[in-house]
């Protein structure tokens, strides 16, 4: 008979594998969307809608999936979710018009809801002091975005973009079967069946949940948005081919997934607040430099006009993007450490709410990226938008978490007695 420790690690490993495959499929349009854009003659906004469509359903289903995970257990919900996406993934290869791609993309997007299921399923198998690490390991499945950027271009170049959905459909079916045979259920992990939907949704009234949702909308929503957008950005901004652009974009996606496990360990050690605070500040600095557009500045000198070019070359851009991927990975883990600390009994529902907010950020931002490029003609406007979102998150965190701590410390300081002037005495 399997020990509890064996079951816990088997669940974590298989759930991470399943989530990696789900994330590969969720990010599929980031690569195949580029040849589709050329084939259908889409503009930047339409391309943004195409790549973001799966993210929409993957976000909206997170809350109900989190509730079902609490009630029926993660194993069953995860397995059924994966099976439901196999046929829609296959059908993408037969889509010939924009609306057909959008409809099939909506159904495929359900795979993105796997995060909420898996994070609650895995966390309950581990003690509280190890939950941050366990959730971080599971969250490393975000590297599915990088795997898609490395694998899908090879398939596209060799066999055309329509082969990618067929390969991914088979991969999803095999993964679902492996998951079922190598995972376990524990009835004690389910909430009481008598708990009503209204009681589960009571978490929506908690302001902390909305604050964590705001944090997650940038560290996860921003990650998803950039994972979808960066291949296209490298092609448009620097003129790289599809394979090279996807490979360079993986410099953001790989650390954004793998280092989430490290972020979980750091969150267990230093706390969710400290990690998130520094993540947001470093993100702000990176986005400040990434936001600056390619510029030519002419200065009148004594010898006549002199023109200087200011802008990031591909090397500096990739270094900053890699740094942003690292801190986003740490931030994704630290936000969910907040949740496991504050909501151990209904982690599925709360992670569903927060995950929904993060996913909606990943859905809305690519569309806004495309619209901003169409309106302004500035490709780095995507980073300008994200800079603003991070600034809002920092201000919210300061006024709700940092400032109250300072006030509490000031209130606990003993008052200093006034020293008498010796001349008066």
pLDDT digits (tens, 9 = 90+) for 245-276: 888 888 887 787 677 778 878 888 888 888 89
Is residue 297 classed as helix, strand or coil in its secondary structure?
strand
Residue 197 has pLDDT above 70, yes or no: no
Q: Which class for 76: exposed (0-12), middle (13-18), buried (19 or more C-beta within 10 A)? A: middle
**C-alpha–C-alpha distance, residues 68 and 197, integer Å:** 10
30/410: higher pLDDT: 30
Could you give the count of Cα atoms lying within 13 Å of 24 in the half-sphere of its Cβ? 25
198/176: higher pLDDT: 176
Could you give the count of Cα atoms lying within 13 Å of 284 in the half-sphere of its Cβ? 15
pTM of the prediction? 0.72
Give which of 68, 71, 74, 82 is closest to 178, Cα–Cα: 82
| pLDDT tens, residue by residue, 104-143 | 999 999 998 888 888 888 888 888 778 777 887 887 887 8
Give which of 57, 56, 48, 42 is closest to 30, Cα–Cα: 48
Predicted local distance difference test score (pLDDT) of residue 412:
64
246/316: higher pLDDT: 316
Predicted local distance difference test score (pLDDT) of residue 415:
53
Is residue 311 classed as helix, strand or coil in its secondary structure?
coil
| pLDDT tens, residue by residue, 71-113 | 788 899 999 999 999 999 999 999 989 999 999 999 999 998 8
Predicted local distance difference test score (pLDDT) of residue 91:
94
Can you count the helices (H) and strands (E) in the chain?
Answer: 20, 2
Predicted local distance difference test score (pLDDT) of residue 88:
94
Q: Given pLDDT bands bounded at 50, 70 and 90, which one contains residue 418?
A: very low
Distance of CA 57 to the CA centre of its chain: 15
Share of the chain above pLDDT 90, in %: 28
Regarding beta strands 295-301 and 304-310, do their DSSP bridges make them parallel or antiparallel, or are they unpaired?
A: antiparallel
Residues 186/93, Cβ–Cβ less than 8 Å: no
Residues 385/364, Cβ–Cβ less than 8 Å: no
Please name the residues in contact with 137: beta carbons below 8 A apart, sequence gap of 6 or more: 12, 16, 122, 260, 261, 264
Predicted local distance difference test score (pLDDT) of residue 425:
37
Q: To 5 degrees, how large is the angle CA 372–CA 377–CA 378? A: 75
Predicted local distance difference test score (pLDDT) of residue 403:
79
| pLDDT tens, residue by residue, 143-194 | 888 889 889 999 998 899 999 999 999 999 999 999 999 998 877 656 555 5
Q: Given pLDDT bands bounded at 50, 70 and 90, which one contains residue 309?
A: confident
Mean pLDDT, range 370-386, rounded to an integer: 90
- Angstrom CA distances, 310 to 42, 212, 293, 294, 297, stand at 31, 37, 8, 6, 8
Question: 4-187+203-404 has which CATH code?
Answer: 1.20.1250.20
Q: Which two tokens stand for residue 162?
A: 């329509």
Predicted local distance difference test score (pLDDT) of residue 194:
58
Residue 64: φ, ψ to 5°: -60, -35
Across all residues in the chain, what is the average pLDDT? 85
Task: Please measure the distance between the N-terminal and C-terminal CA atoms of the chain and give it in whole angstroms.
Answer: 84
Q: Which two tokens stand for residue 19?
A: 């989530």
């Amino acid at each position: 008979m399997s020990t509890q420790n064996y079951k816990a690690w088997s669940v974590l490993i298989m759930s991470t594998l399943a989530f990696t495959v789900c994330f590969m499929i969720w990010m599929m349009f980031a690569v195949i969307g580029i040849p589709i854009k050329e084939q259908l003659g889409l503009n930047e906004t339409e391309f943004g809608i195409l790549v973001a469509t799966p993210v929409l359903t993957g976000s909206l289903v997170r809350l109900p999936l989190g509730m079902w995970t609490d009630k029926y257990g993660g194993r069953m919900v995860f397995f059924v979710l994966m099976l439901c996406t196999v046929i829609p993934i296959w059908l993408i290869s037969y889509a010939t018009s924009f609306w057909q791609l959008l409809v099939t993309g909506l159904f495929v997007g359900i795979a993105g809801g796997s995060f909420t299921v898996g994070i609650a399923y895995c966390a309950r198998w581990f003690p509280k002091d190890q939950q941050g690490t366990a959730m971080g390991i599971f969250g490393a499945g975000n590297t599915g975005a990088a795997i898609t950027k490395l694998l899908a271009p090879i398939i596209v170049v060799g066999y055309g973009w329509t082969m990618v959905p067929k390969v991914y459909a088979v991969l999803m079916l095999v993964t679902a079967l492996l998951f079922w045979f190598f995972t376990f259920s524990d009835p004690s992990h389910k909430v009481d069946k008598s708990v009503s939907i209204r009681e589960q949704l009571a978490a929506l009234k908690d302001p902390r949940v909305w604050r964590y949702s705001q944090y997650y909308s940038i560290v996860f929503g921003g990650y998803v948005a950039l994972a979808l957008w960066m291949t296209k950005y490298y092609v448009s901004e620097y003129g790289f081919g599809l394979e090279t652009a996807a490979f360079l974009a993986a410099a953001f996606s790989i650390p954004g997934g793998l280092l989430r496990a490290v972020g979980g360990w750091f969150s267990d050690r230093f706390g969710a607040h400290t990690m998130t605070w520094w993540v947001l500040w470093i993100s702000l600095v990176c986005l400040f430099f990434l936001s600056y557009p390619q510029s030519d500045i002419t200065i009148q000198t004594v010898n006549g006009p002199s023109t200087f070019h200011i802008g990031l070359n591909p090397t500096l851009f990739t270094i900053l993007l890699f740094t942003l991927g690292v801190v986003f990975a740490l931030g994704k883990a630290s936000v969910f450490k907040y949740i496991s600390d504050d909501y151990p009994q209904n982690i599925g529902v709360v992670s569903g709410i927060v995950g929904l907010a993060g996913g909606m950020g990943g859905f809305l931002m690519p569309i806004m990226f495309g619209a901003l490029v169409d309106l302004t003609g500035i490709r780095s406007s995507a980073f300008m938008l994200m800079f603003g979102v991070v600034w809002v998150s920092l201000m919210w965190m300061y006024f709700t978490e940092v400032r109250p701590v300072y006030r509490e410390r000031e209130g606990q300081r003993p008052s200093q007695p006034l020293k008498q002037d010796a001349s008066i005495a």
